[in-house]
Structure 1
Amino acid sequence: MALSFLRSSVIARNVKRQLYQNKRNAGYVVLIPEIGEDAENTLLSDNGLPEFNDISIEKCIATISKQSLEYENGVRQIEHASENCKNAFVEVFKPLEKLDSQLELTWGMAKTLYLGNSSLMPTKSYIHIHERAHKARSTKFNSIPIFQAAVTEKNRLKKLTDEEQRLLDKYILEGKLNGLDVKGIKRDRLNNVLSGLQKERQMFRDKVNIANKVFTSTIKDDRLMREFPDTLVYSMAMGADPQKGPWKVTLQPHIYEPFMQYCPDRDLRWNAWQAHVQRCSNYVNKELETGTNLENIRSLRREQATILGYETYADMSMETKMAGSVENVNNVLDSLLESARSMQDVELELLQRYAQERGFDVKLEQWDIPYWQRKQKWSLYGFDEDKIREYFPLPRVITSLFNLCSQLFNIQIVERTGIHTWHKDVKFYDVYDESSDAPIANFYLDPYARQDLKIRIYDDAGWHIAIRNKCTSTETTPLSALIFNFQTPSEDKPSLLTFNEVGILFQRFGHCLRHLLTKANYSEVAGLSNVEWDAAEVCGQVMTHWLYDPNTIRSVSGHCETGEPLPDDIVKNLQNIRGHMSGYNLCKELYLSKLDLELHSKKAFWRDIVRELWPKYHALPFDKYDSHPLSFTKIISEEWGSAYYCRLWSRMIAADIYSAFEEARQGDQDVLDVGKRYRDTFLAVGGSCHPSEVFRRFRGRDPSPHALLKNLGLPKKAIEE
């Protein structure tokens, strides 16, 4: 998973020649230099923190090479020791924890550098490091002796803690999914299937990346750019003066998505939209067609699941999900759809009327919705992301965020100076518990965009990197890095955030807290490790809910010149803004989630599945040339096959968790008591207990979609109490 985001941003540079000529199975050849004197771990300072200001690519590659070899040798020694072991925790799993410690730290440092300053860690170098470290670490989950040791330990008649049980279950499940209990001809066939999948997914990814860059459209009329935010104008500029143009439209997400919202010219919007939905289809460029790859991937995944003993790939995927079964996911999706679908009809009717009142005299189509949706939001609520930046200066937002966390979770976050970092803008913080004189965790914060030095993805403007996990046996504490692309401060103004960016900061920090405040003993199940995919984003989503609490948003906001908080009318409207066209937006998410599950559950041709599902989720008609699954990289070439629903599931769980805080405020409970319970469950337990059980410990019941529907202003009539 860790590599999935970076491939989409870099492959197309060098892949066009390889795409048609290079037939080797692996995506890359990993060339590791000889291990010389630089191979000693010289990447740490005396204080045990990374030596970021004295790091080099050569040092990173040499160190990861040495550590990977040591890791693989260490796994072999542990395998030998596991043959007659009497206590697998002492003789197998604790030694594995020690092996993990150094490799994970160096790997985390390389990832941090790659996302924080790609001039220090270019893509090609990071891919080498990532794949070498990943290959080494995967040896323990592909080890039959370690797998058998976990099975034997679980079958012993002894009482296990939740954490020990989860640790064993992880090794057993990973071994099962890697086919360690598959023998003979089936094992050979599984290896061929996995090799074929790697090749097909790489080809799919490469074609989509090229297709994203093939389409361009040029705008020369500056009148069309009047409503565009400055950040978008600069991103699209082709000439020396961004304000004079010309400007280039591409299908890159950070260009395409906002362009569709701000472009007033319907023909230009249609042109970009049809290029977007027809990518990699036979209608555009047969050399970049991915339909064959898509069907091959579906077929291979189906065979993989069958060999491993599952009816479908979707059923196999549920092994690592909180939901537990496709049926459970479908029940929730169907319930949400019943509430959202009727609301979508009403929303589109109101939007059509709004557009007609402003001279739009034709029926709204898919390429019109983002533009008029933005305009309507501004008219109804006086809300424009780019126009309220001045109320969210970054220093104030960060101070308020830290204060909120201190109150809720009884921690202190203190900046420490004199720490080596990868850039002068990076700050370092210690996290203190109320009962400890020494920090219990640390994190770096790198807030500002740096042209061409940071990865930019439109819908993912921030990154959390778990550099080091908590581990009792190695006496290590959690270390994280938070990396964003926020506006750079000027001489007379601090960095100013949009409300959406404030949400991203809160979300990433809430996610980070799960890593920083874990109390698990084994790094393999501490913090974010071993959390089921559909529960992974829960803690981040919980944190964003606080921005809809009037008292919190008033403390977070403050005009950069006057200090005045966000105007009362906008504060009151925030809930309405969140619910604006929520039926339409939720139906889109539900459709993509269902499409993913159907593609991985059924054998029907992909276009037949689309045609059957579309009218159930969309009020607007399906365009016969629309081929969106052919560029759906997230589920086809990345790791999210049968898992697209996970973010929506996390949102549902998070809304239900946050409703406990709201109930406390409205009743006679103390909100701080709820904060302590939340810290003691979700933040402390992490992956050392199943999230369904963690939720029950926090909420006293199983989760419900009611809170999510309430937040979105949708009726809950379809969901039984």
Structure 2
Amino acid sequence: MALSFLRTHIIARHLKKQLYPNKRNAGYVVLIPEIGEDADKNILLCENGLPEFNDFTIEKCIAAISKQSLEYENGVNQIEHSAQSCRNAFTDIFEPLEKIDGPLELTWGMAKTLYLGNSCLMPTKSYIQIHERAHKARLSKFNSIPIFKAAVNEKNKLKKLTDEEQRLLDKYILEGKLNGLDVKGLKRERLNHILTELQKERQIFRDKVNLANKMFTHTIDDSQVIREFPESLAKDMSISNDPNKGPWKVTLQPHIFDRFMQYCPDRQLRWNTYQAYIQRCSNYVNKEIETSTNLEKIRSLRQEQATILGFESFVEMSMETKMAGSIENIYNIFDSLLENAKPMQEVEIELLQRFAKERGFDSKLEYWDIPYWQRKQKWTSYNFEEDKIREFFPLPRVINSLFNLCSTLFKIQIVERNDINTWHKDVKFYDIYDESSNNPIAGLYLDPYARQDEKIRIYDDAGWHISIRNKSSITSTNPLSALIFNFQAPVDGKPSLLTFNEVGILFRRFGHSLRHLLTKANFSEVAGLSNVEWDAAEVCGHVMTHWLYDPHTIQALSGHYKTDEPLPEDIVNNLRNVRGHMAGYHLCNELYLSKLDLELHSKKTFWRDLVREMWPKYYTMPFDKYNSHPLSFTKIFSEEWGAAYYCHLWSKMIAADIYSAFEEARQGEQDVLTVGKRYRDTFLASGGSCHPSEIFRRFRGRDPSPHALLNNLGLSKKNIEE
């Protein structure tokens, strides 16, 4: 079966830009939108101090963001003048900066929320205009030489600082250093040119991959091929948007490709699609959209950027904003994970081969066979398939159980309030109360349901957390968040029903938001999720998902939407086995991609030579010489994860170690609630106001270990020997 590609010319067009550009990129040149007559009024706030979503218009938002951005930049200019003679950087510089931050932050947060929650009210083009204007304004304080020097001078004073004060100074100093504020003359000009070129090359890389994803298509007319497909996949692939009516189109779009490989029974079609996927953007397919040239140019520019800023490599530069601290620390931990994962991978592939053979599969397993047979093996071994157990997870029950768990662990109350303006009738608002206060300490919007043509859909629909407003003691403002999901909406009297994976998404995003909502920091610049090192940013979300593998928790939050019958006991008992299914294979894959990213950004070796050298160290199955996966690795080359892809796995490792403290408390003499209080007082309260390594030591009494992650995945030496 031949690969079918649509050969098209790349035409100049307006494309969606990065949703969250790196603050360390070059600034933007943006035309300032006209400031309307409404700009003098506080048009976007209700009397209760919360956003006025009911009367929101794009025109009002643009007018507000324009006025606030100008005021922000003028405020920074005034602070710069006073910086030259300041005696105390905190009272003379950082507190005034805190006061001008609030209005811009809130309006920008509202725009982000609407962009993700109702794109009819906030189309992409309008959001980009607002986002770029606000982003440019906010960059001004980190590109200010007087503010940078004032922070350095304050740091050099011989006086005792709190953790938070130390972190605030370090943030401004590091941002200034990474923005090249201490680089002069020709080097500065070269740095600006590099940043401009990088932005351009990264966008070209993204455009080419997006085009490659759309170019491959295969049409399926035979309904037998899609007989095992979940309804959602069949609908996404159906040309008529009807899951029961063909033809169905296969593409390389991530939300199609991954599930298609799991459910397609036609091996030849799987091979065809897999080959197209791994050869994207290579010379083997279409020279017009090859990305090898762009990849190597991005690597070269990043290395030169790092050199100008005083670092040996782009990885060393990246480590400045990471908990791990050095590439050596990462390699030491990850090599110990690989030592356990690789032998288990060999066992897993052998068992999967035996399973497939018992069911009539006579060939040797290849990469395009694994997702299909893995899914079947999981169902057969553990009676587990996502779409078959969603009836036990009605969303109202899951949310209620999640709130009860957090109330118990962290001594808070989450109370719905009805008199609030929102952007859609499905959106709920919750006040969060501390047990010691009668006034709310934070607020949360929850927008749970998919709405066609209103919400942006992304691969795996992992949900969004938007920090609408940060906590600030200086301005007496409480944190405000929004959680936005694309869960199945209620229909015909049936509530929204979640897959187990979606329950995990809800728990992860809510756990992530708690760090923002329960922070005790004073300066918004280091409160909550602000200033948290990248490889620790996802930790609190992952900690929350571990509770789903506690039998008592899963029994409390599950109940059939018709009968209230809990999730069958055999499935509850098997959830840990499901989590560990093919864990060696998947962990090796994550370790490989993490190290590939770090090697690409610390060495000059040609990308294909690096892949060939590394592959056999991580995989038991042979390398396909046509495999060109780095050429479509958008996470590291066009998104923000260059020299940082490892952060996802690092966060999971830290989270597993944190949660093991709760498990130890259940098995020993310590009270689980005591551990919950300690977790809130460290990770949730400190946020970015203390280094995560120090926070971890205060919580755990030692440095992190990979053993808990290995145990959770069934990859400890004991498991392997058994």
TM-score class normalised by the smaller sequence: over 0.9
Contact preservation (8 Å) 2:28, 2:136: no
The separation in 2 between residues aligned to 1:511 and 1:612, in whole angstroms, is: 37
Contact preservation (8 Å) 2:461, 2:486: no
- With 229-238 and 509-518 compared, the bigger mean Cα shift is at 229-238
The separation in 2 between residues aligned to 1:19 and 1:208, in whole angstroms, is: 16
Per the alignment, do residues 54 and 273 of structure 1 end up closer, same or farther by CA in structure 2, a change over 3 Å counting?
A: same
Aligned to 1:339: 340
Aligned to 1:683: 684
Query: What's the CA shift for 1:717?
Result: 7.8
Deviations 1:87-130 (A, max 9, x none): 00001001111111111111110000010011111111111111
- Structure 2 matches for 1:24-39, cutoff 5 A? 30-39=30-39
- Structure 2 matches for 1:312-331, cutoff 5 A? 312-331=313-332
Aligned to 1:17: 12
The separation in 2 between residues aligned to 1:371 and 1:240, in whole angstroms, is: 24
- Structure 2 matches for 1:231-630, cutoff 5 A? 231-239=232-240, 241-630=242-631
- Structure 2 matches for 1:55-66, cutoff 5 A? 55-66=56-67
The separation in 1 between residues aligned to 2:494 and 2:460, in whole angstroms, is: 26
Query: What's the CA shift for 1:47?
Result: 0.9
Aligned to 1:708: 709
Aligned to 1:221: 222
The separation in 2 between residues aligned to 1:569 and 1:208, in whole angstroms, is: 43
- With 357-366 and 315-324 compared, the bigger mean Cα shift is at 357-366
Contact preservation (8 Å) 1:27, 1:199: no
SS at match of 2:415: strand
Aligned to 1:192: 193
The separation in 1 between residues aligned to 2:92 and 2:26, in whole angstroms, is: 35
The separation in 2 between residues aligned to 1:223 and 1:175, in whole angstroms, is: 60
| Residue identity in the other structure for 2:394 | P
- With 41-50 and 293-302 compared, the bigger mean Cα shift is at 41-50
When normalised by structure 1's length, the TM-score is 0.96
Aligned to 2:135: 134
Contact preservation (8 Å) 2:163, 2:689: yes
| Residue identity in the other structure for 1:686 | G
SS at match of 1:415: strand
The separation in 1 between residues aligned to 2:586 and 2:156, in whole angstroms, is: 48
Query: What's the CA shift for 1:710?
Result: 0.1
The separation in 2 between residues aligned to 1:519 and 1:340, in whole angstroms, is: 39
Contact preservation (8 Å) 2:183, 2:309: yes
The separation in 1 between residues aligned to 2:643 and 2:651, in whole angstroms, is: 15
Aligned to 2:22: none
Deviations 1:268-306 (A, max 9, x none): 111211111111111111111111010000000000111
Aligned to 2:88: 87
| Residue identity in the other structure for 1:34 | E
The separation in 2 between residues aligned to 1:179 and 1:410, in whole angstroms, is: 45
Query: What's the CA shift for 1:157?
Result: 1.3
The separation in 1 between residues aligned to 2:153 and 2:718, in whole angstroms, is: 49
- Structure 2 matches for 1:629-640, cutoff 5 A? 629-640=630-641
Aligned to 2:144: 143
The separation in 2 between residues aligned to 1:145 and 1:305, in whole angstroms, is: 23
| Residue identity in the other structure for 1:33 | P
Query: What's the CA shift for 1:31?
Result: 4.5
Contact preservation (8 Å) 2:461, 2:485: no
| Residue identity in the other structure for 2:79 | I
5+ unaligned residues in a row in structure 1: which ranges?
1-12
Query: What's the CA shift for 1:218?
Result: 1.0
SS at match of 2:337: helix
SS at match of 2:460: coil
| Residue identity in the other structure for 1:36 | G
Per the alignment, do residues 318 and 26 of structure 1 end up closer, same or farther by CA in structure 2, a change over 3 Å counting?
A: closer
Query: What's the CA shift for 1:627?
Result: 0.8
Deviations 1:631-690 (A, max 9, x none): 101101111101000010000000000000000000111100000000000000000000
The separation in 2 between residues aligned to 1:57 and 1:235, in whole angstroms, is: 31
Aligned to 1:5: none
Residue 655 of structure 2 is aligned to residue 654 of structure 1: yes
Query: What's the CA shift for 1:28?
Result: 8.9
The separation in 2 between residues aligned to 1:376 and 1:463, in whole angstroms, is: 32
Aligned to 2:43: 42
Query: What's the CA shift for 1:176?
Result: 0.6
The separation in 2 between residues aligned to 1:639 and 1:624, in whole angstroms, is: 28
Aligned to 1:120: 121
Contact preservation (8 Å) 2:341, 2:584: yes
Aligned to 2:667: 666
Aligned to 1:7: none
Per the alignment, do residues 479 and 145 of structure 1 end up closer, same or farther by CA in structure 2, a change over 3 Å counting?
A: same
The separation in 2 between residues aligned to 1:240 and 1:609, in whole angstroms, is: 42
The separation in 1 between residues aligned to 2:97 and 2:271, in whole angstroms, is: 55
SS at match of 1:428: strand
- With 518-527 and 252-261 compared, the bigger mean Cα shift is at 252-261
Query: What's the CA shift for 1:235?
Result: 1.1
Query: What's the CA shift for 1:387?
Result: 0.1
Residue 196 of structure 2 is aligned to residue 201 of structure 1: no
| Residue identity in the other structure for 1:385 | E
Per the alignment, do residues 640 and 241 of structure 1 end up closer, same or farther by CA in structure 2, a change over 3 Å counting?
A: closer
SS at match of 1:218: strand
Deviations 1:519-540 (A, max 9, x none): 0000000000000000000000
Query: What's the CA shift for 1:718?
Result: 13
Contact preservation (8 Å) 2:28, 2:132: no
**Percent of pairs identical after alignment?**
78
SS at match of 1:17: coil
Deviations 1:27-58 (A, max 9, x none): 99844431121323311111111111111111
Contact preservation (8 Å) 1:19, 1:203: no
SS at match of 2:181: coil
Query: What's the CA shift for 1:16?
Result: 3.0
Per the alignment, do residues 658 and 76 of structure 1 end up closer, same or farther by CA in structure 2, a change over 3 Å counting?
A: same
SS at match of 1:664: helix
SS at match of 2:459: coil
Contact preservation (8 Å) 2:442, 2:518: yes
The separation in 1 between residues aligned to 2:9 and 2:111, in whole angstroms, is: 22
The separation in 1 between residues aligned to 2:565 and 2:614, in whole angstroms, is: 49
Report how many aligned residue pairs link the two structures: 703
| Residue identity in the other structure for 2:555 | R
Per the alignment, do residues 161 and 258 of structure 1 end up closer, same or farther by CA in structure 2, a change over 3 Å counting?
A: same
Query: What's the CA shift for 1:231?
Result: 1.1
Query: What's the CA shift for 1:153?
Result: 0.5
The separation in 2 between residues aligned to 1:320 and 1:601, in whole angstroms, is: 16
SS at match of 2:272: helix
The separation in 2 between residues aligned to 1:14 and 1:528, in whole angstroms, is: 42
SS at match of 1:441: strand
| Residue identity in the other structure for 2:34 | E
SS at match of 1:440: strand
Contact preservation (8 Å) 1:514, 1:528: yes
- With 138-147 and 181-190 compared, the bigger mean Cα shift is at 181-190
